[in-house]
């Protein structure tokens, strides 16, 4: 007997994310959340969740800041681990929209959403993020390994 699963519940179960700030020199960053959501090739014919090397994940990073006046750019690194980097990019602060390389930038007040793109075969991931301020100083690097 099959039990129906609400699509919203399924998406919540399949979303892998991390939120946190653990660095010392964090100004102006309050939090960072990284989310990798499967978007294709994750259900079997019988609608059973299954991740393999063909599963495609959409990666996005949400950053919350407490001050937007002194940010020059946001630097990110995303990959399978420190050496297998799939995306390394410097986002210029407040340059919004789809950026032509599969990435996007959107800011709403103190919330910044960075679209990092779609990637196959990333069941475990690694990311780094830091901010360059207008005085050319840098925040601490936030690192996450899953």
The tens digit of pLDDT for each residue in 42-58 reads 888 888 888 888 889 89
Q: How far is CA 7 from CA 4, 12, 47, 107, in A?
A: 9, 9, 11, 28
pLDDT band at 24 (very low <50, low <70, confident <90, very high): low
Instruction: Name the band, by pLDDT with cuts 50, 70 and 90, for residue 22.
Output: very low
User: E-assigned strands of 41-120?
Assistant: 56-65, 71-79, 85-92, 97-98, 104-108, 111-120
* Structure tokens given for 21: 């700030």
Q: Considering the domain 7-145 in this protein, what is its CATH number?
A: 2.60.40
Element (H, E) at 11: helix 7-14
Mean pLDDT of 62-86: 91
Domain regions of the chain by residue span: 7-145
- The residue that leads in pLDDT, 117 or 9, is 117
Instruction: Give me the long-range contacts of 35-38 (CB less than 8 A, separation at least 24).
Output: 35/59, 35/60, 35/61, 35/62, 36/122, 36/125, 37/11, 38/14
Determine the pLDDT at residue 20: 45
99 DSSP β-pair partners = none
What's the pLDDT score for residue 121?
Answer: 80
> Could you tell me which residues are beta bridge partners of residue 111?
64, 108
pLDDT of residue 4: 47
- Rg from Cα positions in the chain: 17
Q: What is the mean pLDDT of residues 103-123?
A: 92
Q: What angle do CA 88, 92, 94 make, to 5 degrees?
A: 130
Encoding tokens for residue 42?
A: 């994750």
């Amino acid at each position: 007997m099959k039990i129906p699963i609400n699509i919203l519940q399924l998406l919540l179960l399949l979303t892998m994310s991390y939120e946190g700030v653990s660095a010392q020199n964090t100004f102006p960053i309050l939090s960072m959340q990284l989310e990798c959501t499967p978007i294709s090739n994750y259900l079997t014919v019988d609608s059973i969740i299954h991740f393999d090397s063909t599963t495609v994940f959409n990666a996005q990073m949400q950053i919350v800041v407490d001050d937007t006046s002194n940010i020059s750019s946001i630097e990110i690194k995303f990959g399978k681990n420190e050496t297998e980097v799939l995306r390394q990019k410097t986002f210029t602060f407040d340059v919004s929209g789809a950026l032509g390389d599969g990435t996007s930038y959107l800011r709403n007040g103190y919330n910044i959403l960075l679209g990092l793109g779609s990637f196959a075969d990333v069941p475990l991931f690694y990311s780094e993020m830091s901010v360059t301020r207008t005085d050319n100083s840098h925040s601490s690097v936030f690192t996450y390994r899953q």
